[in-house]
Amino acid sequence: MEVSELALKGIIELRPRVFEDERGYFFESYNEKVFADHGIDVRFVQDNQSFSTTGVVRGLHFQAPPFAQGKLVRVISGRVLDVVVDIRKESPTYGQSLSVELTGTDQKMLYIPPGFAHGFSVLEDAVFQYKCSNLYHKASEMGIHPLDPDLNIFWGTGSPVVSAKDLELPAFQNFNSPF
C-alpha cells in the first residue's frame, strides 16, 4: 500500500495495491498492521455507506469530543470530491481546506483523524463508504455550512444539492470549534 501525508497534517492518502485480471480485481482495503506501521493506530467500530446522485453535497460534518471520530473513507462506485477542513484551534492550518478526488476505479482512500470537518461533492452517482473510530452519537453531531463563502471551497458542481439540515449549519466565522 502506498501511503502519503497530505498538506493538512494528519490527513493521509492511501493507495492500495490492486490485483486485476480477466475476472476482475482484488485489493486489501484495511489491514490493522499496515495502517499502524504508517501512523494510523486506530480501532474502527462502525462502517457506514451512502449512495448519492450527481450534484449532491454532503457535509461539512463531525462529532464533538468525547465522541469525535476518525474516518477512513473511499468510493465503491462513482466519483466524488472529498473535502476536509481543519478545525483544530491550535493548528497552523486552522480553517484551511483540502480536496481530493476519490473514485471507484482508482480505489484511493483517505484517513481523516478527529479535528477535521468532512464532506463530499458527488461528481458522478456514487456509493461512498467510511469506517469510523467511534460510534455515532446524535447529541455530539456538529457541522459547518458547506457553502460558506469564507471557506472558499470549490465543490466541483455548479448547482449543489444540499440538505435543509446542512444549510442551517453555522458559518465558519460563527463557529466555535470543540477541538
Q: From the candidates 25, 30, 38, 61, which is the catalytic residue?
A: 61
d(CA 161, CA 57): 6
Cell matching residue 81: 470530491
Q: Is 61 assigned a catalytic role?
A: yes
Reference 132, options 173, 87, 74, 93; nearest CA is 74
Options 38, 111, 118, 130, the catalytic residue? 130
Q: Which three cell numbers mark 157?
A: 458542481
Q: Give yes or no: 111 in active site.
A: no
E-only strand ranges, 87-177? 97-103, 109-112, 116-132, 141-143, 161-162
CB 81 within 8 A of CB 123: yes
Residue with cell 449512495: 51
Q: Which residues are catalytic?
A: 61, 130
